[in-house]
Structure formats: C-alpha cells, structure tokens
C-alpha cells in the first residue's frame, strides 16, 4: 500500500481516534498529522508482521499518549461546565456528548473504545494496546456500560 | 430508557474536516528529520571543535610542566566522554518505536525519560568536575608566570564563568527540565498502571 493510499484510507479514522482521545479539533488534527509523518518515515520498515491498520493505529495511539508529556489535559472525573446543562437531543449535540464522555475516561480506556467504535477488530485492539483479547472484550463491555450511564444522565430519552 | 444507544453510528458522524495536503505532510516529515539530525550534529560539532582547538593550542605550546599536559588531557577527555555518553544515551530518543504496542511503548518512554534524567544529573556533574580540574591544572603553569594580581584575575574570571554556567545557567535549565521529566514519568507510569491493574484483576 502506498503512502498516498494509506493517507486517503486512514486519515478520517485516525482523526476520529485522536478526537476521541483529546476532544479538541486542533490538537486532534496536529496529532493526526504527526501520526502520518511517522507513517511516512517508517513505512519502509513495515514488515507485514501485523496488518497495516494495526500498525497505523498503534502509531496513532502512541502519539496520543505522548500528548501527556506536552500538555495538561482536563482534570479527570470532572464534567465540563457546559455539560451540566442538559443539551437538546439533536444528533450533533449527541455526537459532541459522546466525544466529551470518551475524553473523560482514563487514557487506555479512551484508546480502546475509540478503536472499537472505529470498527477495529478486538484481536487487533489487543495487538495495538498489548492487552489480551479477553481483557479487551471485558474492557469494551465495561466502557460501553459507563458511556450508556453517562448518556442516560444527560439525555433522558435513552 | 429502553432503547440502546448506537455509539458506532454517532461516532462515525464526527466530521474529520478537510484533509491537509499530502505533500505538506511529506514536506513537514522531511523538515523534521533534517532538523532533528542537524540539532544533534551541531551540538556535538561545537564540543568537538573545542576539543580540537585545545589540542592545537597544546601542540603549539612550549610547556615544561607536566600539570599542563595532564590538564589538557583531562579537558579533552571530559569533552569527548561527554559527547560520547550523551549521544549514546540520546540515541534511543530517535530510535523509539512508536509502532510498538502501547505497553511496550510506554515502558520505552519511561526508560528514555530516566536516561535523560541520568544525563542531566550524574553525567553533567562529572563533566563539570573534570573540566574544572583539567582547566585548573592547565592554568597552573601560566599562573606561576603571572603577577599575583593577574593570576587572581584570570582565575576568578575563568572559574567565575564556570560557576555561573553551572550554578546559574545549568541549574535554571536543569530545574525546569527536571520538573518536566519527573512529571512525564509520573504520568506515563500512571497510564502503565491502568494496563497492569486491568491484567491483574482479570
């Protein structure tokens, strides 16, 4: 697969994973770009030991984790102020709510659920994070429970 | 409360915005590679030039006292050792593997941060000790030829500058970097615990 094909196929996917991790458009864009810079630099070293998708998602999630060293993120466990008011139940605000809720999860959970929602197979998520497939299955289930609860809290129609 | 939420459908609706031009990404990648390499090379080149300069002076000097020779050897050795050790320890920084799995990558980052901490504490301190010692031995012969006043002035200037560089410039940067590195290690280890804790509970 050429770099151009990779860029076309994976740009939106990687952007969404970064958005899930950071919930900040500009930072997600920057990290997506950093990811593709690394992909470009390392593409000749890719040995087909894993699927190309797994390889790219690994680079993306590691770049997301490196953001920690660069800036302080929102304090854990606190809902952003604007979420205290219940938003109207239109789709756009639901999308925003989902990304906001994900961005409040612990770092590893954010990566796991972002990849799951991006339709990455659980075996691949295991290969990306270094956890076992069983762990991923349980983790995904728990995170979805957590997200549903948050949604029910802010979106009474669910 | 009955209907389950289709998170996947919501997730996919997040607009990704316009893709930046692919050529801009490639150009940025190339610039970054060049800049990183140049930065590392330039720092080492300056130090190596200093070492060569000292050797040239030594070759052209008419020295009769062994302390001068020992001083020069110490200065050159401390510069060469500093360049060798710090480049050796910095190498993994540019060879980190962002394509490794998260667990491995986090451990790599922690070990890189610890190495940086090691350079800034132990290696830097040893470098300054040997450099000052070498400089002192080197200057002894010339100090003896000077009047007491001039000997005092040159010693004060030389070691005053070294002390300023170490205690003021070095310390100030050191404190800032130490705080960043310690913070980064703590955060990385906290994420690593998320992975480990989950492994233990399952």
User: Nearest-CA distance from A127 to chain B in Å?
Assistant: 7
**Substitution target from A16, A69, A96, A125 for chain B, most B beta carbons within 10 A:** A69
Long-range contacts of A70-74, Cβ-Cβ distance < 8 Å, separation of 24 or more: A73/A22, A74/A103, A74/A104
Residue B121 has pLDDT above 70, yes or no: yes
User: Nearest-CA distance from A57 to chain B in Å?
Assistant: 8
Q: Which of A23-27, A143-147, B9-13, B42-46 has the lowest mean pLDDT?
A: B42-46
ipTM higher than threshold 0.90: no
Spatial distance between the Cα atoms of A29 and A64, rounded to a whole number of angstroms? 11
CB contact under 8 A, B28 and A131: no
The tens digit of pLDDT for each residue in A72-125 reads 444 444 444 444 444 445 666 888 888 888 988 888 899 999 999 999 999 999
CB contact under 8 A, B10 and A131: no
CB contact under 8 A, B99 and A29: no
Contact A122, A140 (CB under 8 A): yes
A88 exposure class (CB count in 10 Å sphere: 0-12, 13-18, 19+): exposed
Q: Which tokens in the block code for residue A129?
A: 């994070």
Of A141, A11, A21, A66, which is closest to residue B4 (Cα–Cα)?
A141
- Alpha-carbon distances, residue B93 vs A11, A54, A65, B105, B113 (angstroms): 26, 23, 16, 12, 9
More confident residue, B65 or A10: A10
The tens digit of pLDDT for each residue in B13-34 reads 887 777 778 888 888 778 877 8
Contact B78, B127 (CB under 8 A): yes
Tell me the percentage of chain B whose pLDDT exceeds 70.
91
With contacts defined as CB-CB under 8 Å, which chain B residues touch A38? 98-99
pLDDT of amino acid B2: 39
Mean pLDDT to the nearest integer, A20-33 = 89
Cα angle at A148 between A143 and A151, to 5 degrees?
A: 125
Spatial distance between the Cα atoms of A107 and B194, rounded to a whole number of angstroms? 8
- Alpha-carbon distances, residue B43 vs A15, B46, B199 (angstroms): 36, 6, 43
pLDDT of amino acid A80: 42
Q: Which tokens in the block code for residue A41?
A: 């630099």
More confident residue, B92 or A41: A41
- Residue ranges per structural domain of chain B: 63-201
pLDDT of amino acid A84: 44
User: Nearest-CA distance from A157 to chain B in Å?
Assistant: 6
* The length of chain A, given as a count of residues: 158
Q: In sequence order, which residues have a C-beta less than 8 Å from that of residue B102 and are 6 or more positions away?
A: A58, A61, A62, A65, A108, A111, A128, A129, A130, B195
């Amino acid at each position: 697969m050429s770099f151009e094909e990779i860029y076309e196929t994976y740009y939106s996917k990687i952007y969404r994973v970064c958005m899930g991790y950071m919930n900040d458009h500009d930072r997600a864009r920057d990290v997506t770009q950093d990811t593709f810079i690394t992909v470009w630099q390392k593409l000749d070293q890719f040995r087909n030991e894993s699927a190309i998708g797994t390889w790219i998602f690994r680079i993306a999630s590691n770049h997301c984790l490196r953001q920690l060293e660069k800036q302080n993120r929102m304090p854990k466990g606190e809902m952003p102020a604007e979420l205290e008011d219940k938003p109207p139940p239109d789709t756009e605000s639901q999308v925003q709510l989902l990304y906001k809720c994900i961005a409040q999860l612990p770092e590893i959970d954010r990566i796991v659920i972002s990849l799951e929602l991006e339709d990455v197979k659980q075996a691949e998520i295991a290969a990306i994070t270094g956890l076992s497939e069983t762990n991923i299955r349980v983790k995904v289930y728990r995170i979805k429970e957590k997200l549903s609860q948050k949604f029910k809290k802010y979106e009474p129609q669910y | 409360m009955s209907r389950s939420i289709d998170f996947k459908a919501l997730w996919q609706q997040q607009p990704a915005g316009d893709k930046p031009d692919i050529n801009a990404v490639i150009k940025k990648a190339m610039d970054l590679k060049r800049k990183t390499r140049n930065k590392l090379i330039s720092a080492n080149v300056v130090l190596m030039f200093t070492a060569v300069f000292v050797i040239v002076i030594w070759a052209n000097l008419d020295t009769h006292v062994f302390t001068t020779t020992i001083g020069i050897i110490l200065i050159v050795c401390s510069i060469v050792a500093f360049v060798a050790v710090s480049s050796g320890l910095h190498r993994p920084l540019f060879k980190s593997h962002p394509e490794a799995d998260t667990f491995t990558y986090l451990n790599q980052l922690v070990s890189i941060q610890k190495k940086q901490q090691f350079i800034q504490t132990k290696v830097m301190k040893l470098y300054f000790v040997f450099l000052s010692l070498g400089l002192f031995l080197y200057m002894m012969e010339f100090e003896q030829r000077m009047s007491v006043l001039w000997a005092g002035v040159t010693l004060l200037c030389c070691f005053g500058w070294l002390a300023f560089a170490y205690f003021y410039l070095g310390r100030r940067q050191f404190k800032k970097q130490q705080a960043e590195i310690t913070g980064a290690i703590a955060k990385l280890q906290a994420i690593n615990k998320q992975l480990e804790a989950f492994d233990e509970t399952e």
